[in-house]
């Protein structure tokens, strides 16, 4: 049986992470399995430290046991730790992309460094939920790095939606099913 991939995107503070956590927890409850959270954010400033703390507290309040993996880049390094009983939540793709771009600015290698481990995760775990940000709705700056980032993120979104059994856009806390069958 192929692992289900659920792709969830939305704007900043749209409620996408909360919806993703609820989706993963519901899968664990319905299908059994252990919950894993792959955190890609680095606590780089006070605002990010507060967001990370808020996400951790939210998961604790949810009443489900989560194992958190700090993985800011090189996602492939942790894939082997997951098995067929695991429900994995990756939050978030946009930060993972930025971190990978800092390591290696080559566009084709950056895409491969993200897509290959996601494909491998799909093969290893029971279900995979990937969260991303919808940053492409606003005009991008004309600087080369921002344009490159926007194009790469758009390509990643398209590739993941192709691979996904369900894709959601979350706006103002309301998840809108864009692909798949409502469960």
Catalytic residue IDs: 55
Residues contacting residue 108 through CB under 8 Å, at least 6 positions apart: none
Among candidates 40, 148, 162, which has minimal Cα distance to 94? 40
Structure tokens at 157: 């979104």
CB atoms within 10 A of CB 125: 23
Q: What is the CA radius of gyration of the chain?
A: 16
Q: What is the 3-state secondary structure (H, E, C) of 26-42?
A: HHHHHHCCEEEEEECCC
Among candidates 111, 157, 163, which has minimal Cα distance to 16? 157
């Amino acid at each position: 049986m192929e692992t289900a991939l659920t792709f969830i995107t939305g704007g900043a503070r749209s409620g996408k992470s909360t919806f993703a956590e609820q989706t993963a927890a519901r899968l664990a409850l319905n299908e059994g399995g252990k919950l894993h959270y792959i955190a890609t954010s680095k606590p780089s400033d006070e605002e990010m430290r507060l967001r990370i703390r808020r996400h951790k507290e939210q998961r604790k309040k949810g009443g489900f046991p989560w194992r958190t993996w700090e993985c800011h880049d090189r996602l492939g390094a942790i894939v082997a730790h997951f098995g067929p009983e695991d429900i994995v939540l990756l939050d978030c793709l946009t930060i993972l992309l930025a971190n990978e771009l800092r390591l290696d600015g080559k566009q084709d290698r950056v895409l491969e460094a993200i897509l290959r481990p996601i494909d491998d995760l799909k093969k290893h775990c029971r279900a995979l939920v990937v969260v991303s940000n919808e940053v492409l709705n606003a005009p991008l700056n004309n600087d080369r790095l921002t344009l490159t980032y926007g194009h790469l993120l758009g390509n990643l979104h398209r590739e993941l939606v192709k691979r996904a059994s369900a894709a959601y856009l979350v706006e103002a806390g309301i998840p809108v099913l864009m692909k798949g069958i409502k469960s």
